[in-house]
C-alpha cells in the first residue's frame, strides 16, 4: 500500500467531516483538527510557558490534498460546529506524489459593529 493510500485510509477512519470553502467552491473532506500546543521552553515576550500551553489561538488541520486549500488567500474551514480562517497551509509531497495537507487555522468571529469605529 502506498503512503498516500495509508494516510488517506487513516484520515477516513479517524477523521471528521471538514467543510472547506474557497473562492473555487465548497468541499467536504475527512480531516483531523486539533489545538496547536506550544512546546515547553518556548518564550513569547520573554515568558516561559508551561508544557502543553494552549491559548485557543491556533489549530492544526491535517487533511487530504483533495481539500485544495490555498497556500495564501481566503479559505474558511468548518468543523465541530465551529468556523475557522486559514492562516497558512502546505502540501507534503515526496516523489511527485501529494500525501497530505497541513494547515494552521484560527477561530473565525463575525465582525461586530464596534470593530468599524476607531477609538
Q: Distance between CA 83 and CA 81 in Å, rounded?
A: 7
The structural domain count of the chain equals 1
- pTM confidence score: 0.74
> Residue 118: inside a domain, yes or no?
no
Is it the case that residue 5 has pLDDT exceeding 80? yes
The per-residue DSSP string of 12-39 comes to HHH-EEEEEEETTEEEEEEEEEEE-PBP
Q: What is the CATH number of the domain that holds 38?
A: 2.40.10
Mean pLDDT of 60-88: 86
What are the angstrom distances between the C-alpha of 5 and each of 1, 14, 29, 116? 6, 14, 15, 47
pLDDT for position 15: 93
pLDDT for position 1: 64
How confident is the model over 14-53, as pLDDT tens digits? 999 999 998 888 999 999 998 876 554 545 555 655 555 4
> Residue 113: inside a domain, yes or no?
no
Phi, psi of 2 (to 5 degrees): -70, 160
> Residue 56: inside a domain, yes or no?
yes
> Residue 114: inside a domain, yes or no?
no
Q: Which domain holds residue 59?
A: 3-108
First to last CA, the chain: 59
For residues 57 and 69, the answer to whether their CB atoms sit within 8 Å is no
> Residue 81: inside a domain, yes or no?
yes
Amino acid at each position: 500500500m502506498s503512503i498516500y493510500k495509508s494516510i488517506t485510509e487513516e484520515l477516513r477512519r479517524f477523521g471528521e467531516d471538514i467543510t472547506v470553502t474557497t473562492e473555487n467552491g465548497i468541499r467536504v473532506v475527512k480531516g483531523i483538527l486539533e489545538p496547536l500546543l506550544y512546546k515547553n521552553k518556548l518564550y513569547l515576550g520573554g515568558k516561559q510557558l508551561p508544557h502543553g500551553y494552549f491559548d485557543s489561538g491556533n489549530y492544526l488541520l491535517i487533511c487530504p490534498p483533495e481539500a485544495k486549500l490555498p497556500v495564501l488567500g481566503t479559505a474558511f474551514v468548518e468543523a465541530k460546529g465551529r468556523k475557522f480562517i486559514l492562516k497558512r497551509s502546505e502540501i507534503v509531497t515526496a516523489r511527485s506524489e501529494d500525501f497530505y495537507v497541513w494547515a494552521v487555522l484560527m477561530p473565525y468571529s463575525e465582525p461586530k459593529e464596534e470593530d468599524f469605529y476607531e477609538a
